[in-house]
Amino acid sequence: MTKTKFKRLPRHIGVIPDGNRRWAQGKGLPKEDGYQNGLDPGMMLYELCVELGIPELTFYGFTQDNTKRPAVQTRAFQRACVDAVDMLANRDASLLVIGDYESPLFPPQLMKYKQRKTFGRDLIKINFLVNYGWKWDLHHFMNEDSTINSGSVKIKRNVFQTIASRDISRIDLIIRWGGRRRLSGFLPVQSIYADFYVVDDLWPDFQREHFYDALNWYENQDITLGG
């Protein structure tokens, strides 16, 4: 299956890789063992996106909500995110990590991706949400001056210019693995008009057909942006 199969592709795909803990439990493993099994699916998805020429891909790593879980799980998903970013840094992508950098729960190894860094041939923009919180994202505009100087006058900034995740563009298609039909705080502003596709299989059971099914479904949606 190649690029020619699709008539219309999303420019930006958001990925919610859910179901790692359920997968581990299903194998009789401790819940926290699931996350490392989510690394290969992420790399496979990266490769499929590059092959199709998808310009931007955002992974939902972990959230501030998630860090309320048992410490052994929190350490496991922190570790998995660091590993995933390390793996992608060896490929052809520009990487940006977004989340509450000031919290001790943000892995210090990822601080260097606070500004986007480019690797290899820079074939795709990848955003990784790490210690991300939707409140943290939206509150950002209350912590800043909401006006900008334009010549001699101050003009109001719009919401896209003031949220913490302002460097992440509007999302066309969100694919969530693990069967749940909810956004769970995933980039509320960028997700406003996104089409939302749910894969019932768990993220560590990723298959390329999940992704192609989502793209096939997507190209049959009409895009109105609310109009």
Residue 75 gets which letter from DSSP? H
Contact 204, 41 (CB under 8 A): yes
Q: What is the amino acid identity at position 162?
A: T
Q: How far is the CB of 25 from a second copy (least distance, A)?
A: 13
Q: Which is nearer to a second copy, 67 or 94 (CB)?
A: 67
Residues 73-112 that bind a second copy (CB under 8 A): none
Rounded to the nearest 5°, which phi and psi values hold at 99? 175, -175
Using rule CB under 8 A, residue 63 touches a second copy: yes
- State the CB neighbour count (10 A cutoff) for residue 15: 26
Residue 107 host element (H or E): none
Residue 183 to residue 125: CA distance in whole angstroms:
22
Closer by beta carbon to a second copy, 46 or else 62: 62
Q: How far apart are CA 113 and CA 22, in angstroms?
A: 30
Nearest partner of 88 among 173, 15, 194, judged by Cα: 15
Residue 181 interacting with a second copy (CB under 8 A): yes
x/- letters, 19..58, toward a second copy (CB under 8 A): ----------------------------------------
**Among residues 184, 200, 207, 208, the one that binds a second copy under rule CB under 8 A:** 184
- If phi > 0 it is left, if psi is from -120 to 50 it is alpha, else beta; for residue 225 that is left
Q: What is the dihedral of CA 92, 85, 104, 64, to 10 degrees?
A: 100
Q: Select the span of 38-46, 81-89, 96-104, 182-190 touching a second copy (CB under 8 A).
A: 182-190
Identify the residue among 43, 55, 69, 117 touching a second copy (CB under 8 A): 69
Half-sphere exposure at residue 115, Cβ-oriented, CA atoms within 13 angstroms: 0
For the segment 190-219, give every residue that binds a second copy (CB under 8 A).
191-197
DSSP code of residue 158? P
Site string for a second copy, 120-149 (x = CB under 8 A): --------------xx--xx-xxx--x---
Give the residue with the Cβ less far from a second copy, 115 or 149. 149
Closer residue to a second copy (CB): 146 or 207: 146
CB of 15 to a second copy, least distance (A): 16
Residues interacting with a second copy, by CB under 8 A? Answer: 63, 65-66, 68-69, 134-135, 138-139, 141-143, 146, 156-159, 162, 180-185, 188-189, 191-197, 221, 224-227
